[in-house]
Amino acid sequence: MSLPTLATLRAIGQQLALTVDAAQFHLQVAADIDNSTPCSQDDADEFATISSEIEGLQTQLHAVLGSVLAQSRHKIVAAAAAAEAPADQHTDETIDLQAKTESEDHGPEIEPQEYKSTAGRTAKPKPDLPSVLQNFVQSTGRITLSDLPNKKRGLSSNALAMCRAVARRMVALMESDNCLDDASACLFRDTLERLAEAVEGLPPSETISVRNVVQVVTFLGRILELADAVSGTPAALASAELCSSRLKPKRSAGEHMDDMLITMHTFVQNLEKQKKPPRGDNLDRAVKTLTCKLQLDITTYNRCQELGLSERSKERWAYFTEVAGFLGDWIGRTAVLATPSKELKSMYVAAKRLREKFPDRVPSTLLENAKLRVYPRKPRKPRKKQSKKSTKK
């Protein structure tokens, strides 16, 4: 987006003033009408649709105005800097800088935004903070505009990923003693508040990745710490709204921390009800499924503990021990492969570390049988008998 001119800013200001006046006029007219009669279900549905559309327009307006105001402030700062350093006064530093610039203008063209990977290929340039913030606003706006409930999980996960990218860049900016402009900070705070409400409103069947939640909550906590330490930080980054938006996904992660454990326990119980235990390919599939789920459950629980959430109850730990015990028995009935699966190795490492923290929770059969298949014993080669040479005296 090009830098706005004075005429552009005047036009935007006039258009916004007209829009606000028109909205206030319509609200005043509505206040004079008797609205005591209850509306029908069709009217209520239309109310919800139009409200969602207005909320989407509000999100888009925040994004556009935030970008315009941010670039306007950059233009003001650049003009002030130019006024403080007149062109006819040359110091030693400016002369050296001009000489360096002139020599670089005649040198080879440099593209600092691109970087070389280890494979020698040119990777795409990483987007800057304003671009990522714009993507975050748009991703969050799509959640409110979506009419399909089954799509809200994917949209919320995407918006959380965008939020994580913005928060990570903001932390890096603040740790270098730089500040975000007020408009961008307010835009981030307001968009985060909408995203937190969307995540909190997801049904249990549409839960999102706890990993993304943990990373976002961690970065937001760091932003709140730096907001008190870095001078000139916008008030929006130390506001109560930002603290509340940080707590909502954290609370949601705590509520769904054991969802995978309950799924595994149901899976094991269903297999127990079968007349014959799983064998052959069915056993291999059951082991692979439960191995992946157990490793994911351990990772999720560890991440939730990083957030300071409460530990599992005795009942849930009993579920875990039962599931891990069945998996250990099933692994013991599988063949030892020359090349163990990556899933089994990841699960074994995670379970081993978990047992170091909670010795009584992880059955020994799980670790022993998994270890034999992750690190299979190589058969010893028979030693060659050395032939004794008879020596004549």
pLDDT in tens, 356-370: 999 899 999 999 999
Please give the pLDDT value at position 92.
39
Please give the pLDDT value at position 389.
56
pLDDT in tens, 130-178: 889 989 998 888 887 776 666 777 888 889 999 999 999 999 999 998 8
CB 189 within 8 A of CB 241: yes
Residue 326 tokens read as 């069945």
Task: Quote the CA–CA distance of 133 and 65 in Å, as a whole number.
Answer: 13
- Residue 362 per-residue DSSP state: S
Q: What is the dihedral of CA 28, 32, 35, 40, to 10 degrees?
A: -60
Task: Quote the CA–CA distance of 370 and 366 in Å, as a whole number.
Answer: 6
What's this model's pTM, rounded to 2 decimal places? 0.57
**All residues at 6 or more sequence positions from 299 whose CB lies less than 8 Å from its CB, including other chains:** 211, 350
Residues in the chain: 393
Please give the pLDDT value at position 203.
64
Task: Quote the CA–CA distance of 318 and 363 in Å, as a whole number.
Answer: 11
Those residues of the chain that have pLDDT short of 70 are 1-4, 7, 11, 14, 18, 21, 25, 29-37, 63, 66-126, 147-150, 203-207, 378-393
The candidate with the shortest Cα–Cα distance to 208, out of 274, 164, 273, 271, is 164
* Amino acid, single-letter form, for residue 130: P
Helix (H) or strand (E) run with residue 204 in it: none
Boundaries of every domain in the chain: 3-31+48-77, 129-256, 258-374
Residue 136 tokens read as 């975050």
Please give the pLDDT value at position 322.
95
